[in-house]
Structure 1
């Protein structure tokens, strides 16, 4: 699973940071989270390609959605005929449709707009899901959790071969997928050579939000949490008034959820050249890995057990 940060600025872009956009390559499934103005150029610049079938919108503020019309128009110019699903908070379908058709035209390919409330599954993929989670902002909003299914347990080849005398071959595959086999006159059960299921990876993207218990719960033990960190702590009042989070508050969410790594995003323009300050403030309360990604940074999300 590879995450590419396409846009990490707050409401206003800078020469170094574009508005919100994040691309996930999930084993060949290409997923886009938010699409601020200029996102399609960022996709070209950082080589993600345009083979996106699902766009997950956290809320309809301009810095998260104004790139949608241009991206769909580019799809049209490239003769796209595959459908795309746009997932958006409940009650916003009409607004998304108006945004798409604002220039008086409609895409030549199917566009499905899927409204979501917290807890709804947006995408039921192959061995993973993407579901909406509750966030708190100044308008209808959701975040998203990409959670993989548990993986098979480790196969103990040494025990199978040396202790049980089972030679390498089809019987190994059968045992590993959970089926018993017959060998040397007895039934060998899968649990004799296959360990317990291993957890898959979990990725969480909050969009704009206040720190909330709902996000903490949804992010429990996540491998990567990408959290709103618009302000430093000395502007905590401003963060509360605008329904954003400070870096320290994001760090506390990460600590309470027990995540492995925290990425701070949606950075206010006032912190240009000062992002180390934000990372340090988050690190005061969170002792895991914390970083403020630059646009274009790629992050491989490793399995919890490192394999």
Structure 2
């Protein structure tokens, strides 16, 4: 899984930071969270490709949605035929439809727009789900999204299987798939004898604009990456509260409570255009020594599985 930060700035873009857009590629599938103006150019600039399957909108403020009309048309100009799904908070469907059909434009491919209630599942596959959660932003209905992968099979213990008399070959795979196998001597070997406990998949959580919320803590529980609003440094806490945003310190406190592994601080106010040190310093001090960072536009992050460091164990099936 790879994340690309296409737009990390606040409501007022700068020469270095565009409006909100966060891109995830997972096993060849491409997902976009928010689509501020200029997102299509950022996608070209940073080489993400245009073969999107879903766009997830957190709320209807312009710096999160005004890139949709241009992106929709660019996809059309590239001869897209596959359907595109756009997900948004309750009440957003007519507004998103107007954006898609700006100035009477009608795309040449299907676009399915869905309103997603907080706490509901927007996408449900065998490999992962994307669940929405309630956020809190001034003057608008807003939601965040959690990409949660399904548990993976436990590790296969080849040495144990061979010691039980399982011949190298197809029976290894059948055991790993949860099927008991019969050996030549008539004995039965069951999966639980040679396969370990299931292993967690990855979890990536994106808040959009929000105050600190309990629902974010719940959604980000053990997240491999939490992407959280961090518009201001701690000395602007009153301004953050007034405008419905979070400080970097508040974002780090949420990440700490959620036991997140990494915290990306986004929606950076233009006040920090020349120096994001105050944000990173505030967050690092409050995040129990875990990694907190302000990504630049175009920054790409590979997200490993939670057990990636367990190199002494491995699946070993022919």
Alpha-carbon displacement from aligned partner over 1:167-211 (angstroms, at most 9, x marks no partner): 210000000011101113211110100000000000000000000
Moved more, 118-127 or 133-142: 118-127
Equivalent-residue separation in structure 2 for 1:191 and 1:104 (angstroms):
60
- Report the RMSD for the aligned CA atoms in angstroms: 0.9
Q: 1:4 corresponds to which residue? A: 4
Equivalent-residue separation in structure 2 for 1:171 and 1:206 (angstroms):
45
Alpha-carbon displacement from aligned partner over 1:221-254 (angstroms, at most 9, x marks no partner): 1000000000001110000011000000000000
Task: Please report how far the alpha carbon of residue 273 of structure 1 lies from its aligned counterpart in structure 2 after TM superposition.
Answer: 2.6
Equivalent-residue separation in structure 2 for 1:54 and 1:21 (angstroms):
13
Equivalent-residue separation in structure 2 for 1:189 and 1:251 (angstroms):
45
Moved more, 104-113 or 31-40: 104-113
Equivalent-residue separation in structure 2 for 1:300 and 1:276 (angstroms):
23
Alpha-carbon displacement from aligned partner over 1:120-176 (angstroms, at most 9, x marks no partner): 111113410111111001201100000000000000011111x21222100000000
Q: 1:297 corresponds to which residue? A: 299
The residue correspondences of 1:78-89 to structure 2 (distance < 5 A) are 78-89=78-89
Q: 2:23 corresponds to which residue? A: 23
Task: Please report how far the alpha carbon of residue 100 of structure 1 lies from its aligned counterpart in structure 2 after TM superposition.
Answer: 1.7
**Secondary structure, aligned partner of 1:35:** coil
Q: 1:73 corresponds to which residue? A: 73
Q: 1:143 corresponds to which residue? A: 144
Structure 1, unmatched stretches of 5+, are none
Equivalent-residue separation in structure 2 for 1:76 and 1:176 (angstroms):
44
Task: Please report how far the alpha carbon of residue 41 of structure 1 lies from its aligned counterpart in structure 2 after TM superposition.
Answer: 0.2
Task: Please report how far the alpha carbon of residue 46 of structure 1 lies from its aligned counterpart in structure 2 after TM superposition.
Answer: 0.4
Report the count of equivalent residues. Answer: 306
Runs of 4+ in 1 over 2 A off after TM superposition: none
**Secondary structure, aligned partner of 2:34:** strand
Q: 1:165 corresponds to which residue? A: 165
Q: 2:108 corresponds to which residue? A: 108
Equivalent-residue separation in structure 1 for 2:207 and 2:71 (angstroms):
22
Alpha-carbon displacement from aligned partner over 1:49-108 (angstroms, at most 9, x marks no partner): 000010000001000000000000111111211110000001110111112222122111
Task: Please report how far the alpha carbon of residue 13 of structure 1 lies from its aligned counterpart in structure 2 after TM superposition.
Answer: 1.1
Equivalent-residue separation in structure 2 for 1:227 and 1:292 (angstroms):
10
TM-score with structure 2 setting the length: 0.95
Equivalent-residue separation in structure 2 for 1:105 and 1:73 (angstroms):
8
Q: 2:221 corresponds to which residue? A: 220
**Secondary structure, aligned partner of 2:3:** strand
- 2:55 equivalent to 1:55: yes
Equivalent-residue separation in structure 2 for 1:225 and 1:121 (angstroms):
18
Structure 2, unmatched stretches of 5+, are 310-318
Equivalent-residue separation in structure 2 for 1:185 and 1:126 (angstroms):
35
Equivalent-residue separation in structure 2 for 1:136 and 1:153 (angstroms):
38
Q: 2:312 corresponds to which residue? A: none
Q: 2:316 corresponds to which residue? A: none
Q: 1:274 corresponds to which residue? A: 275
**Secondary structure, aligned partner of 2:55:** strand
TM-score with structure 1 setting the length: 0.98
Equivalent-residue separation in structure 2 for 1:164 and 1:125 (angstroms):
36
The residue correspondences of 1:114-125 to structure 2 (distance < 5 A) are 114-125=114-125
